[in-house]
């Protein structure tokens, strides 16, 4: 059975923590670099040949929590989209969550969550729907250890990513998922993102057309009062848009974490050089289970289609829903049910939060039927939902590790790393100081 990490007491803050909390954004931006050479690493040949003389050093709980909080922390209430003249007097009802996070999402859909792995295990970090952030100007997302307490351990040991084709790009095999590293994996539910997008379209009097088969969606004309027949979106474009928007979300998550690395003096980088099907566990190789997501294959598809991890991160589509109508109802419940962004009793940032949240128009039965009709057509026609892009997608990753400064001192000129890197060991791990640049 999965278990939750239990951080019993707040860990004492090292001096580096306080420095990171006040580190200038401008320095994090200008000093952002991919720094791949970690303690314990080796480049066996070539002009940059070097072997670390020091063993790997895992991130401690505060370090790990701070990187996770930067990549997927809950930062307060989402402010939503306040006005659309065509909706007035109703509030635009696009958002999927009431929560603000450290990275943006198109119309506040927020369909992604983090998975991560280190020497201790493989974890899932539920974060897209709360919990409510702690109050306080210094730690709006709560202390970093909270991220570990909320994480669900899926299994012991580091994620299995063999350093060979087709799992890792050749240039990443020497440095990715190494002992001591923290590998963060944001995962997006494209099916849910697509459903939220269809709701968005219909609220703006638009609907789908199957441009791939050059046919209108059968039965859609029954709902002609809900959309403008001249306002039709090609299915292929809508699915590309959904995948692109979700990819931007998970990339922004990694970028937020990347900036945190500069402030903390950790090495690492964001990248996409891992086979996404190896990560999710959809290669068919029993020796590479990845995260263990369910997947299906079909002769109509060029690639396997991951759909979800049962009990943890399930795509809003069959087999995790009975049909697409049930998936639509789940979307509506997330938006308008208890804790959702458009439920009157969900707290918020406004002086009259009940009035604001209750000012959004609920999706009617006819509206739900129309969205479900379009989604079910896609599922029935292509055998999956969405039809032309994966149901679940990973594309960008963030790795954090401790740098071997000796490599940079020997192979680079001055300025290869920041002052935070030079002082990291002294300020985070007293007794393990490593010489920085002279």
Q: What CATH number did the domain enclosing 307 receive?
A: 3.40.109.10
| 153, pLDDT greater than 60 | yes
pLDDT of residue 432: 81
| 137, pLDDT greater than 90 | no
Question: Does the residue 329 lie in any domain?
Answer: yes
| Nearest alpha carbon to residue 202 among 400, 316, 368 | 368
Terminal alpha carbon distance of the chain = 51
Alpha helix positions (H), 73-127: none
Mean pLDDT of 235-249: 98
Question: Does the residue 438 lie in any domain?
Answer: no
Q: pLDDT band for 144, please (50, 70, 90 cuts).
A: confident
pLDDT digits (tens, 9 = 90+) for 327-377: 999 999 999 999 999 999 999 999 999 999 999 999 999 999 999 999 999
pLDDT of residue 145: 80
| 138, pLDDT greater than 80 | no
Mean pLDDT of 161-179: 96
pLDDT of residue 434: 52
pLDDT of residue 4: 40
Question: Does the residue 311 lie in any domain?
Answer: yes
Residue 155, strand partner residues: 122
Cis peptide preceding 350, ω within 30 of 0: no
pLDDT of residue 162: 95
The average confidence (pLDDT) of the chain is 93
Q: How many CB atoms lie within 10 A of CB 50?
A: 17
SS3 content of the chain, % helix, strand, coil (to 5): 30, 15, 50
Question: Does the residue 382 lie in any domain?
Answer: yes
| 239, pLDDT greater than 60 | yes
* Alpha-carbon separation of residue 409 from 48, 53, 175, 262, 400 (angstroms): 12, 14, 19, 18, 20
Question: Does the residue 181 lie in any domain?
Answer: yes
| 135, pLDDT greater than 70 | no
| Nearest alpha carbon to residue 174 among 41, 35, 39 | 41
Domain limits for position 389: 3-428
| 2, pLDDT greater than 50 | no
pLDDT of residue 435: 46
**Domains in the chain: how many in total?**
1
- Tokens representing 91? 């509030």
Mean pLDDT of 210-226: 97
Residue listed under structure tokens 């010489």:
435
Question: Does the residue 39 lie in any domain?
Answer: yes
Question: Does the residue 437 lie in any domain?
Answer: no
Question: Does the residue 436 lie in any domain?
Answer: no
DSSP letter for 182, please.
Answer: E
| 75, pLDDT greater than 60 | yes
Mean pLDDT of 135-158: 76
């Amino acid at each position: 059975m999965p278990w939750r990490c239990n951080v019993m007491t707040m860990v004492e803050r090292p001096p580096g923590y306080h420095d990171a909390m006040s580190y200038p954004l401008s320095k994090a931006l200008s000093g952002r670099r991919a720094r791949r050479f970690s303690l314990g690493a080796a480049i066996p040949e070539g002009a940059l040949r070097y072997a670390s003389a020091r063993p790997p050093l895992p991130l401690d709980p505060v370090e790990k929590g701070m990187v996770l909080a930067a990549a997927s922390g809950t930062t307060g209430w989402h402010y939503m989209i306040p006005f659309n003249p065509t909706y007035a007097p109703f509030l635009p009802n696009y958002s999927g969550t009431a929560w603000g996070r450290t990275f943006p999402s198109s119309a506040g859909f927020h369909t992604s969550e983090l998975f991560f792995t280190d020497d201790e295990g493989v974890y899932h970090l539920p974060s897209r729907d709360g919990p409510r952030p702690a109050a306080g100007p210094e730690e709006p997302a709560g202390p970093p250890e909270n991220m570990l307490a909320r994480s669900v351990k899926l299994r012991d040991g580091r994620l299995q990513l063999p350093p060979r084709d087709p799992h890792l790009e050749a240039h990443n095999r020497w440095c990715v998922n190494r002992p001591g590293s923290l590998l963060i994996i944001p995962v997006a539910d494209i099916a849910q993102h697509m459903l939220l997008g269809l709701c968005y379209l219909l609220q703006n009097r638009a609907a789908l057309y199957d441009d791939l088969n050059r046919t209108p969606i059968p039965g859609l004309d029954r709902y002609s009062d809900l959309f403008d027949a001249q306002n039709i979106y090609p299915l292929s474009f809508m699915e590309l848009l959904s995948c692109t928007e979700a990819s931007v979300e998970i990339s922004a998550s990694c970028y937020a974490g990347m900036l945190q690395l500069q402030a903390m003096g950790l090495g690492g980088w964001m990248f996409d050089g891992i086979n996404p099907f190896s990560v999710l566990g959809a290669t068919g190789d029993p020796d590479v289970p990845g995260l263990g997501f369910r997947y299906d294959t079909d002769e109509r598809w060029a690639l396997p289609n991951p759909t979800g991890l049962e009990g943890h991160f399930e795509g809003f589509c069959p087999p995790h829903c009975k049909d697409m109508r049930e998936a639509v109802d789940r979307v509506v419940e997330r938006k308008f049910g208890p804790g959702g962004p458009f439920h009157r009793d969900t707290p918020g940032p406004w002086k009259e939060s009940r009035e604001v949240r209750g000012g959004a128009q609920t999706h009617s039965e006819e509206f739900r039927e129309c969205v479900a009709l379009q989604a079910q057509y896609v599922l029935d026609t292509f055998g999956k939902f969405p039809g032309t892009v994966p149901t679940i997608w990973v594309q960008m990753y963030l790795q954090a590790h401790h740098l071997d400064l000796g490599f940079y001192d020997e192979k680079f000129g001055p300025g290869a790393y920041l002052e935070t890197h030079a002082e990291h060991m002294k300020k985070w791990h007293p007794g393990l100081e490593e010489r920085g640049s002279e």
